[in-house]
Structure 1
């Protein structure tokens, strides 16, 4: 039985695209999503799944300036990212050609990418299915850049951004709504 919601036009199309694997990410920066090292560190260090959001991850909060984030002594700079600077959390290295977060000169910590094994408070992680994501976040929308997005419960200034392939999430990010680092 198909369930539709008449108050949110386009939702049926979004659900069909997500479940059918049609929602694919465009040009997203390389992230910790594919890093096997971060999965090992995540589960070995914490003993239980780490949580992304609603305000930050690993001791770094959205909106912190680069100076404030560096002062935590929990991050390390990565080179080659523009227009923002790329960083990793020391405890969750993103691996070669990946980045764990982007910091904007104007907005501070703008995007934090979830390492493999790290979940949102609603239990969504890399490898979750489109159906699980839709159940956890019934107000999902599709952005022009291909992300499934939703306002973070408990933080109206942030969104979760999900990229899927073949009905499975391969990237989870916590981002400021007004971030200026990625489309």
Structure 2
């Protein structure tokens, strides 16, 4: 009887611990394959605003406008989201603790980046780009210094807000 109770207690404890691990893994903010949370690539400015997840940082004046995710504010001279008047949400940049569905985050090594995205290539601007699994219309961009990811984002391949 005592052995059965101990076994049941150990099983229950392991289920609680594994359940907490799954819950914390699911709680990590994920960027991709279509955007971040309710903010999706290609979504119109009106629909993106209606999510309640964005804060206007600077109006576009007919061009692209700069926004931040409410939960993840960017430094003064940066924006977290670009919205094109023609294409809608054109790019979303990762902020603290965000990761791709494949597990890449700021601080990941270049070896981890290559393992997650075997086709990653350096572009004209010195950034690394990779196809987004599950979204043919998007790319990931990664800034890498000293063998580590220092920044990343997801964007429409045909975005018209920058370079």
Q: Smaller-chain TM-score range?
A: 0.7 to 0.9
Which string of whole-angstrom CA distances, capped at 9 and with x for unpartnered residues, describes residues 47-104 of structure 1?
Answer: 8321100001031000011111011111110127785211011121123222111011
Residue 157 of structure 2: aligned partner: 177
TM-score with structure 2 setting the length: 0.79
Distance of 1:110 and 1:129 partners within structure 2: 27
Residue 63 of structure 1: aligned partner: 42
- After TM superposition, the runs of 4+ consecutive aligned structure 1 residues lying more than 3 A away are 80-83
- Structure whose residues are more often helix by fraction: 2
Answering whether residue 108 of structure 2 is matched by residue 128 of structure 1, we say: yes
| Maintained 8 Å contact 1:58/1:89 | no
Distance of 1:75 and 1:49 partners within structure 2: 19
SS at match of 1:124: coil
SS at match of 1:173: strand
Report the count of equivalent residues.
139
Distance of 2:26 and 2:86 partners within structure 1: 36
Deviation at 1:170, TM superposition (A): 1.1
* Unmatched runs of 5 consecutive residues or more in structure 1: 1-45
SS at match of 1:119: coil
Residue 64 of structure 2: aligned partner: 84
Answering whether residue 31 of structure 2 is matched by residue 52 of structure 1, we say: yes
1:137 pairs with one of 117, 128, 149 = 117
Task: Label 1:140 to 1:71 Cα distance change in 2 as closer, same or farther (>3 A).
Answer: same
SS at match of 2:111: helix
* Unmatched runs of 5 consecutive residues or more in structure 2: 1-24
| Maintained 8 Å contact 2:72/2:96 | no
Distance of 1:86 and 1:164 partners within structure 2: 24
Report the RMSD for the aligned CA atoms in angstroms.
Answer: 2.0
